[in-house]
Structure 1
Amino acid sequence: MPKAFRETDGPHHVAIIMDGNGRWAQMRNRPRLFGHQRGAKRVREVVEACPELGIKYLTIFAFSTENWKRTQVEVAGLMSLFRRYIMKEMQAFVKENVRVRFIGDRPRLDAKLRTLMDEAEQMTSHCTGTNLTIALNYGGRDEVARATKRLAEDVQAGRLRPQDVTEETLPKYLDTCVLPDPDLVIRTSGEARISNFLLWQSAYAEYEFVDTLWPDFTAEELARLSQSYGRRDRRFGAVSA
């Protein structure tokens, strides 16, 4: 990690679209699931790098609402991988003081996976270090639609007046209601699109699109991108002094 990096220079909330697992595996003549397995291992290294970089919140895009369109074999393999990952990593995350949360539409996931997700959140609820949020069966439009439905129900029930609905109201109904908005969104694998990820929350985030495939993404690259973020002039619509 570069010595010149200062903790206060970098982003406090980094969100990552972890893309390129399948291509990484295919380049090595291996099944796509092999790439997903290697990508899961890469998460640990990135999580462990966060405290030194001053990254308090890390949100990773694990499975989108659109990923159900993939082959049945790949989807089943991914669900099995998620279950194994949670069972394997949770004790380590507790030891490392990492708080784990999940965002996304849970009902479509299988019962065992949902139970493991609940247990992971409960087991790490006391942790005060890095906040790791895993987006699982998540889509930005789906999240906004679900949030709007809950908001409308509160209006209909008289718990909220229509005139009180503002730009600050909707975020309270989003899956990320307890999280700050991301400062930096990173997408790996050379694709330059946001793929329905944190649409509301990342309105003023900085973006980095890198060519590295996710299984090759390192803590050093995260540090470099965090340094680059620290040199940006973030004006939020205003003019620099």
Structure 2
Amino acid sequence: MPRDPDTPIHCGPRHVAIIMDGNGRWAQARGRPRLYGHHAGARRVREVVEACPGLGVKYLTIFAFSTENWKRTQVEVAGLMSLFRRYIIKETRALAERGVRVRFIGDRLRLDAKLIDLMDQLEEHTKTNDSVHLTIALNYGGRDEVARATRRLAQDVAAGKLAPLDVDEQTLPRYLDTHVLPDPDLVIRTSGEARISNFLLWQSAYSEYEFIDTLWPDFTAAELARLCHSFGARDRRYGAVRA
């Protein structure tokens, strides 16, 4: 759902997307296994979600597990899947009580049935909430998302539901996992890496980026506030020139 550049917006970002990087390095710096850092990072999510309403952030999208993360060790992947299941079970009530609506994006086919069931239950349990829209990217990759969207679009063309000449840059977003969400205004990547790692490739075409050195388990609501306030000073022209 791209934003109309002529529409006035809140001076801060309405939609913040975060690449939560640095959990493993944070743990290793403390002589602990990488999974220790992932658990610390999961706890940090709660603080960030709770900070959003006060900052005017209506939408928060977090990158939890990428399509490339399957390349990690079997122990780490299994630990992460267990962490996701535990997070959903533990946080469902708190998320619902805070008025948070949760959605998941990504390809669910490779995930285990128990995790998929928990994801479905959390989405259903929070579907009427509107304080913050929390989107969790799980087994998500931007290229994979575009490929899956293009496949569905091609099926509609083949079925005669869509004319080839009607396909334009406004058409494809309707087939993306994020079709009900506005594009992110601000994308933050923690841990000092300066790359987007296949995250929201289509949606972030005009997003502002912040690459910060803080490792994700050390990221605070105060730092989020600083980045949101900094965003408000940026001149977003969407390719145009101010008169």
TM-score, normalised relative to structure 1: 0.97
- Matched to 2:168, the amino acid is T
Deviation track 1:57-78 (CA, whole Å, cap 9, x = no partner) reads 0000000000000000000000
- Matched to 1:183, the amino acid is D
Written as runs of structure 1 = structure 2, the 5 A alignment for 1:117-136 is: 117-136=119-138
Structure-1 separation of matches of 2:40 and 2:48: 13
1:128 deviation in Å?
Answer: 1.2
Structure-2 separation of matches of 1:89 and 1:51: 18
Give the share of equivalent positions with the same residue, in percent: 77
Q: Secondary structure at the match of 2:10?
A: helix
Q: Secondary structure at the match of 2:61?
A: strand
The aligned counterpart of 2:6 is none
1:9 deviation in Å?
Answer: 2.2
Which of 189, 211, 214 aligns to 2:216? It is: 214
Written as runs of structure 1 = structure 2, the 5 A alignment for 1:35-50 is: 35-50=37-52
The aligned counterpart of 1:19 is 21
Deviation track 1:170-229 (CA, whole Å, cap 9, x = no partner) reads 000000000000000000000000000000000000000000000000000000000110
Written as runs of structure 1 = structure 2, the 5 A alignment for 1:42-191 is: 42-191=44-193
1:240 deviation in Å?
Answer: 1.9
Structure-1 separation of matches of 2:224 and 2:72: 29
Q: Secondary structure at the match of 1:131?
A: strand
Return structure 1 stretches of 4+ with deviation > 2 angstroms: none
The aligned counterpart of 2:194 is 192
Q: Secondary structure at the match of 1:9?
A: coil
TM-score, normalised relative to structure 2: 0.96
Q: Secondary structure at the match of 1:46?
A: helix
The aligned counterpart of 2:237 is 235
- Matched to 2:224, the amino acid is L
Q: Secondary structure at the match of 2:21?
A: coil
Q: Secondary structure at the match of 1:181?
A: coil
Q: Give unmatched runs, 5+ long, in structure 2.
A: 1-8
Q: Secondary structure at the match of 1:39?
A: helix
Structure-2 separation of matches of 1:223 and 1:68: 33
Q: Secondary structure at the match of 2:177?
A: coil
Structure-2 separation of matches of 1:108 and 1:158: 31
Q: Give unmatched runs, 5+ long, in structure 1.
A: 1-6
- Matched to 1:233, the amino acid is D
Structure-2 separation of matches of 1:9 and 1:168: 25
**RMSD, matched Cα:** 0.8
Which of 9, 23, 30 aligns to 1:28? It is: 30
Structure-2 separation of matches of 1:9 and 1:224: 13
- Matched to 2:22, the amino acid is G
Structure-1 separation of matches of 2:32 and 2:21: 17
- Matched to 1:107, the amino acid is L
